[in-house]
């Protein structure tokens, strides 16, 4: 399956090309996708995205297609044409008085 | 005003933008000229009334000193008093320059971009944060971190009240104990609405006890004023808690058992005892004499007291640990610290305990709810000290112990819970429980909310918030880190500041030290005025004021009062932007196109404004600002209520339901009275700081409150025998309104507005009489400010009090920069981590000063630092 | 008019809404708020007292006016006909409450610049005459309350008919022991204060 992974936000210092395409098996999970992106961009990306216990960091929001997911074990289905889209938003503080 | 012969005579609904209260306006425009600004009676936010700032907005709109054209700096040297040598440029050139800089930074390392904002631009700042987020930088700073805003206070808002801020239940409260908040007196949240509500409460017979070093505008209206030594509020609160639990034995057991972590078992190491299988906190069931998971359906009762053996471990309920912890903090202990007689503390505790009416109920909307008509308020006064985290904790526990938190009569989160507008069910948020049963806010205006605790990391941001994740708001560490990022292992330097209407040189601390952090930065200012901070700018862009711009949202989480109605407003231009002024948001949209980041920016707008189909932004086309605003309104309030509806009607409102206002009784989410995770978090911060190689005192990361002296309390330099404190008056907002001639005129009728409040006897002992010019020298910064003495009996003899942020020196503010227009308090406050509460990164805004009568009458012309003119050495730091 | 000093927070919103409504020129505040402090530390009371024309039933200012410029409306409001005023300022000396103001020269808030608001509003003020609060008579004629009453952000002000014993103002004065400033002068002011 061909997965297009897009990164948004406080991650551009690590991921210079915010859109990447990876090829995976047809049965994959968000975790596996992120693992493969981390392999490409380095461990610092893992630190940005995941907590020490390996969960999604509190300021990271992941969408598979249009669906938000909080679980790294969320499976990614090949919706059509063996293609899927994963969006990763890394948010930063917006308020403060 | 007469409107005869008018071809045009319109009343336009919009919202005020002169503070964070967001009052609803009706603006009267006749033949294109704004002739009156009135409160919109349709809105519950301000119920048709306005404060002096609100009515004087006309003078801001038409002030000829406003920035009207884009400017660029010609003088390569930067400094506090160095004229930038402004040269007019075209918008085209300005945008080109800014876009080019941004492109370069984004390519190199987007983290090098900082955005500074202020809380009076509540509409533009969040939208601009979407821009910086999409850009790829985590760095933003609201300069209210100095003497304006809550920091630790907002943390407890999140942990205990599911909201950014809180207010007493003005409809039912009978005893308001107020530690230095301006509630009801013309500052603090929903200024105009609360002035009315608290005035009504006064007539209803609510007793207001003000604990404050100064007989402030709020304390003036209190039934009792208890002067206190600055920064000792926690000692007063701890002694009250001691009286409640050890002398009167008054606490709300039912509330503590079911709505707090009071029954959670604490082991010898200070942490929760946890269940083997689910790893959730345990409680002790005294009926079955057994430990059970806190959420077990088998629980017959919760123990709050006692010592138990659980799997060989000695454990006590959190409440029992708290109670024992409070034992030494007697009223006699607090007396020499606070200067308040022990008998007074006991009496107030007794009144508070009796008026809390524990066990009583009241029927609201057909439901019997706990009735606890007491509230403890505090804000910058009690919070703005070195030990903010522990100070605020002590104050908050008073409300929690008697069960007066988010129930009728008590202390209410400002909009903790929203079930949404009846037709659309939006916007909606409800506090919920985490795995430990503790409350996570339903909504928090930042990311992520302060609870559950965040991870401690090497600091990637320029404000230490990665390392110290407990800081909920604007960080007091930013100028420190920014001046020397390497020391904090921050792997980059800030190169550019997008500067949105924040005069940070006059609202944080020592302007000289803050300037040092900013002066090598390329600064682009969206400015109303060429204020002090724009002296450090490279480009200044003429910004549209709140009367000249459209906003995607006028309102924010704490712009509606806690009680009453939900109101959502429009902010629309009442006149076209004058001269070449432009809306910040529109300029940002243009920059997005220039930087080719539309896809990313729209993705953030869709996500963070929660746009829904068919109103989501499609990155294959380009939208105008008003189209985006329209889509936001339609996404939230339905197809029929887009921008046009709001422009016409001004406000959409509906009544608040009892379970929204008084959400606690029906919520399963508990709140902490024992802040269990603080200790381990502090250990992690310490370990990380050690690794980075910075010395950080993390000892205040504690689960239970204490009072500790601040720097000012331990300062013994001879002659420095006054505490200098800051407070707010309803005639000015921060530093931004001082050029308004109407506000200036009323300030001149109030001896305290531009003067220095000083105890009459203490002043006369030093030969100081009313109106004398005095010199105030800070022991911490060495700077001296000058002002005129306003003698009063209404201030603690050890204290001088300075209102607002006067003492401007920009030559472009001809009204504000005149002699005798107030003092710039910030010169007295040092910048540095030893002046910051580490867990919350709250800046200490209290300092010891020397006060002498000015001998040189000729020099009274200067109302600011006498060292200011010698600051040219600052330029040595600038590579040019 | 009744001003409830228990409700008033001294914000000065009344002073500025008066200015906005009446476009009074620089240096002229028809309405101002003074602070009155009593007691010794720590037993201190500080009260905000809004002051404006008291609209006396027996106005000493009217008595001394040589041209008849100062007059009383049938409803009791004391007003000035600017066309008749010769600027002699006897009235200012006669007013025991110091609530009359003389405009010596036309000035604007920003030296050398007249804002559109001032262009529209200053037509109503001329140099060389005395002016003061007229309880927003033009607003009353349109059925509105005086601006200071309509805008007060602690709702401390109530406007009504003192001659009607059933009016809200009469009730407030009765129930809350309302008082006039310096009643001993015999001017019988139409502004009553409710105790703080």
What would the pLDDT profile of B446-504 be if each residue is shown by its tens digit? 888 999 998 898 888 999 988 999 998 789 999 999 999 999 999 999 999 999 988 99
Q: What is the pLDDT of residues B534-580, one digit of tens each?
A: 999 999 999 999 999 999 999 998 899 999 999 999 999 999 999 99
**If you measure CA to CA, which chain B residue comes closest to C41?**
B793
Q: What rounded mean pLDDT belongs to chain C?
A: 97
- What's the confidence (pLDDT) of residue B862? 41
Q: What is the pTM of this model?
A: 0.95
Average pLDDT, integer, range B278-306: 98
* Averaged pLDDT for residues C108-129: 95
How many residues in chain B? 880
Nearest residue in A to B461, CA atom = A92
Rg (CA), chain B: 27
Structural domains in chain A, CATH included, are 2-90 (3.10.20.30)
Least confident of A24-38, B51-65, B599-613: A24-38
pLDDT of residue A95: 63
A61 close contact with B: CB closer than 8 A: yes
B818 touches chain C (CB under 8 A): no
| Confidence label for B845 from pLDDT (cuts 50, 70 and 90) | very high
The pLDDT tens digits for B726-777 are 999 999 999 999 999 999 999 999 999 999 999 999 999 999 999 999 999 9
B472 in reach of chain A (CB within 8 A) = yes
Nearest chain A residue to B603 by CA: give it: A8
pLDDT > 90: percent of chain B: 90
Output the pLDDT for position B148: 79
Least CB-CB distance to B64: which of C20, C113, C120? Answer: C113
Closest CA to B756 of B746, B743, B768: B768
Q: How far is A94 from chain B (nearest CA, A)?
A: 5
Quick: pLDDT tens for B273-287.
999 999 999 999 999
Q: Check whether B4 has a pLDDT greater than 90.
A: no
State the nearest Cα–Cα gap between B48 and chain C, in angstroms.
Answer: 7
Please tell me the distance from the alpha carbon of residue B381 to that of residue B393, in angstroms, as a whole number: 14
Q: CB contact, 8 Å: A67 with chain B? A: no
Q: Strand runs (DSSP E) across A11-54, as ranges?
A: 19-23, 28-29
Q: Which residues of C are less than 8 Å from B752 in CB distance?
A: 35
Give me the domain span that covers residue C39: 2-194
Looking at the predicted complex, does its ipTM rise above 0.95?
Answer: yes
Work out the angle at residue B570's Cα, subtended by the Cα atoms of residues B564 and B571, and round it to the nearest 5 degrees.
Answer: 125
Among B20, B133, B150, select the one facing A9 at the smallest CB separation. Answer: B133
Predicted confidence (pLDDT) at residue C142 exceeds the cutoff of 90 = yes
B812 interfacial to chain C (CB closer than 8 Å): no
* B 705-764: CB under 8 A from C: 730-731, 741-743, 745-746, 749-752, 759-761
- Report pLDDT for A78: 65
* Confidence bin at C168 (pLDDT 50/70/90): very high
Angle (CA) B109-B110-B116 rounded to 5° is 135
Chain B residues near residue A11 by CB distance under 8 angstroms: 136
Find, among B372, B385, B420, the residue nearest to B566 by Cα. B420
Give tens-digit pLDDT for C36-67: 999 999 999 999 999 999 999 999 999 999 99
Q: How confident is the model at residue B650 (pLDDT cuts 50, 70, 90)?
A: very high
Domains (range + CATH), chain B: 9-61 (2.20.25.90), 712-877 (2.40.40.20)
* B431 has a pLDDT exceeding 80: yes
The CATH number given to whatever domain includes residue C169 is 3.30.70.20
* Average pLDDT over chain B, rounded to an integer: 94
Question: Residue range B154-162: average pLDDT?
Answer: 97
DSSP code per residue over B77-141: ---TT-----EE--HHHHHHHHHHHHHHHHHH-GGGEEEEE-GGGTTHHHHHHHHHHHHT---EE
Average pLDDT in the B432-452 region?
Answer: 94
pLDDT digits (tens, 9 = 90+) for B318-346: 999 999 999 999 999 999 999 999 999 99
pLDDT of residue B146: 74
Residue whose C-alpha is closest to residue B660's, from B426, B370, B416: B416
Q: How many domains does chain C have?
A: 1
Among B552, B384, B553, B472, smallest CA distance to A94 is for B472
């Amino acid at each position: 399956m061909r997965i297009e992974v897009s990164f948004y936000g406080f991650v551009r210092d690590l991921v210079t090309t915010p859109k990447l395409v990876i090829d995976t098996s047809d049965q994959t999970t968000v975790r596996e996708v992120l693992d493969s992106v981390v392999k490409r961009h380095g461990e610092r990306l893992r630190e940005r995205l995941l907590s020490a216990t390996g969960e999604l960091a509190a300021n990271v929001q992941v969408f598979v297609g249009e669906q938000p997911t909080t679980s790294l074990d969320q499976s990614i289905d090949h919706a059509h044409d063996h293609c899927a889209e994963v969006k990763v938003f890394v948010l930063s503080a917006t308020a403060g008085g | 005003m007469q409107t005869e012969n008018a071809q045009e005579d319109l009343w336009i609904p919009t919202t005020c933008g002169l503070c964070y209260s967001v009052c609803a306006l009706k603006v009267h425009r006749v033949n294109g000229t704004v002739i009156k600004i009135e409160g919109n009676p349709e809105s519950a936010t301000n119920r048709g009334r306005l404060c002096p700032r609100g009515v004087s907005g006309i003078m801001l709109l038409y002030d000829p000193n406003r920035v009207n054209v884009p400017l660029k700096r010609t003088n390569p040297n930067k400094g506090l008093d160095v004229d930038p040598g402004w040269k007019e440029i075209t918008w085209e050139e300005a945008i080109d320059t800014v876009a080019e800089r941004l492109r370069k930074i984004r390519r190199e390392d987007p983290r090098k971009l900082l955005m500074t904002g202020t809380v009076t631009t509540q509409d533009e700042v969040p939208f601009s944060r979407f821009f910086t987020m999409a850009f790829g930088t985590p760095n933003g700073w609201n300069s209210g971190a100095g003497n304006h805003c809550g920091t630790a206070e907002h943390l407890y808002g999140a942990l205990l009240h599911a909201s950014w801020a809180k207010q007493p239940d003005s409809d039912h409260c009978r005893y308001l104990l107020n530690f230095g908040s301006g509630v009801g007196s013309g500052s603090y949240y929903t200024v105009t609405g609360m002035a009315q509500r608290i005035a009504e409460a006064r007539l209803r017979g609510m007793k207001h006890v003000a604990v404050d070093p100064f007989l402030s505008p709020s304390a003036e209206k209190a039934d009792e004023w208890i002067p206190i030594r600055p920064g000792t509020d926690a000692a007063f609160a701890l002694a009250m808690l001691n009286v409640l639990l050890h002398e009167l034995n008054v606490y709300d057991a039912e509330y503590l058992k079911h709505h707090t972590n009071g029954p959670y078992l604490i082991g010898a190491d200070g942490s929760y005892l946890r269940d083997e299988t689910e790893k959730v906190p345990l409680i002790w069931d005294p009926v079955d004499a057994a430990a059970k998971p806190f959420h077990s359906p088998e629980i017959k009762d919760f123990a709050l007291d006692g010592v138990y053996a659980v799997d060989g471990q000695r454990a006590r309920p959190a409440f029992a640990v708290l109670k024992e912890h409070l034992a030494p903090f007697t009223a006699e202990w607090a007396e020499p610290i606070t200067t308040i007689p022990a008998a007074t503390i006991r009496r107030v505790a007794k009144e508070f305990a009796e008026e809390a009416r524990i066990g009583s109920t009241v029927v609201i909307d057909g439901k019997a709810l706990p009735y606890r008509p007491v509230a403890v308020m505090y804000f910058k006064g009690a919070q703005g000290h070195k030990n903010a985290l522990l100070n605020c904790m002590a104050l908050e526990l008073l409300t929690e112990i008697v069960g007066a938190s988010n129930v009728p009569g008590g202390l209410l989160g400002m909009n903790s819970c929203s079930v949404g507008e009846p037709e659309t069910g939006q916007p909606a948020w409800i506090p919920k429980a985490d795995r430990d049963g503790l409350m996570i806010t339903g909504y928090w205006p930042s990311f992520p909310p302060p609870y559950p605790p965040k991870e401690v990391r090497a600091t990637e941001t320029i404000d230490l918030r990665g390392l110290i994740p407990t800081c909920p708001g604007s960080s007091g560490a930013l100028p420190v880190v920014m001046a020397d990022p390497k020391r904090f292992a921050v792997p980059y330097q800030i190169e550019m500041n997008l500067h949105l209407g924040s005069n940070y040189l006059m609202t944080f601390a020592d302007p000289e030290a803050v300037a040092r952090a900013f002066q090598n930065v390329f600064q682009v200012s969206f400015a109303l005025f060429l204020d002090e901070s724009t002296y450090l700018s490279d480009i200044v862009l003429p910004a549209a004021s709140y009367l000249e711009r459209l906003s995607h949202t006028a309102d924010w989480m704490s712009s509606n009062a806690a009680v009453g109605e939900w109101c959502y407003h429009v902010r629309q231009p009442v006149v076209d932007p004058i001269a070449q002024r432009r809306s910040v948001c529109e300029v940002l949209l243009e920059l997005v196109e220039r930087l080719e980041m539309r896809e990313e920016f729209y993705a953030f707008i869709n996500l963070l404004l929660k746009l829904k189909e068919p109103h989501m932004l499609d990155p294959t086309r380009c939208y105008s600002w008003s189209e985006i605003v329209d889509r936001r309104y339609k996404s939230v309030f339905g197809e029929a209520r887009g921008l046009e509806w709001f422009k016409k009607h001004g406000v959409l409102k509906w009544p608040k339901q009892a379970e929204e206002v008084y959400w606690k009784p029906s919520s399963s989410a508990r709140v902490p009275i024992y802040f269990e995770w603080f200790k381990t978090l502090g250990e992690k911060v310490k370990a990380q700081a050690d690794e980075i190689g910075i010395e950080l005192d993390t000892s205040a990361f504690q689960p239970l409150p204490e009072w500790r002296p601040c720097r000012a309390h331990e300062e013994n330099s001879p002659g420095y025998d006054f505490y200098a404190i800051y407070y707010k008056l309803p005639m000015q907002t921060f530093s931004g309104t001082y050029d308004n001639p109407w506000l200036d005129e009323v300030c001149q009728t109030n001896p305290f507005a531009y003067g220095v409040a000083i105890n009459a006897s203490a002043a006369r002992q030093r030969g100081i009489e009313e109106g004398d010019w005095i010199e105030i020298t800070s022991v911490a910064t060495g700077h001296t400010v000058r002002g005129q003495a306003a003698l009063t009996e209404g201030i603690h003899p050890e204290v001088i009090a300075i209102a607002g942020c006067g003492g401007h020196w920009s030559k472009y503010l001809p009204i504000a920069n005149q002699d005798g227009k107030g003092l710039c308090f910030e010169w007295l406050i040092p910048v540095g981590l030893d002046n910051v509460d580490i867990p919350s990164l709250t800046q200490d805004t209290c300092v010891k000063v020397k006060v002498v009568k000015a001998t040189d009458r000729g020099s009274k012309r200067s109302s600011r630092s006498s060292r200011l003119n010698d600051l040219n050495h600052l330029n040595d730091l600038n590579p040019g | 008019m009744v001003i409830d000093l228990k409700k008033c927070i001294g914000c000065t919103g009344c002073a500025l809404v008066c200015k906005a409504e009446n476009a009074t020129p620089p240096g002229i505040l028809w309405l101002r708020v003074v602070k009155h402090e009593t007691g010794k530390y720590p037993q201190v009371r500080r009260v905000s007292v809004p002051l404006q024309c008291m609209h006396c039933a027996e106005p000493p200012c009217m008595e001394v006016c040589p041209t008849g410029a100062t007059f009383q409306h049938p409803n009791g409001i004391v007003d000035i006909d600017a066309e008749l005023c010769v600027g002699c300022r006897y009235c200012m000396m006669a007013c025991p409450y110091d609530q009359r103001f003389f405009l010596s020269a036309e000035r604007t808030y920003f030296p050398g610049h007249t804002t559109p608001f001032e262009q529209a509003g200053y037509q109503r003020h001329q140099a060389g005459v005395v002016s003061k609060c007229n309880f927003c008579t033009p607003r009353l004629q349109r059925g509105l309350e005086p601006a200071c009453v309509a805008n007060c952000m602690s709702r401390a002000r109530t406007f009504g008919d003192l001659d009607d014993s059933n009016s809200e103002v009469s009730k407030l004065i009765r129930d809350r022991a309302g008082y006039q400033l310096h009643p001993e002068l015999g001017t019988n002011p139409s502004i009553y204060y409710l105790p703080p």
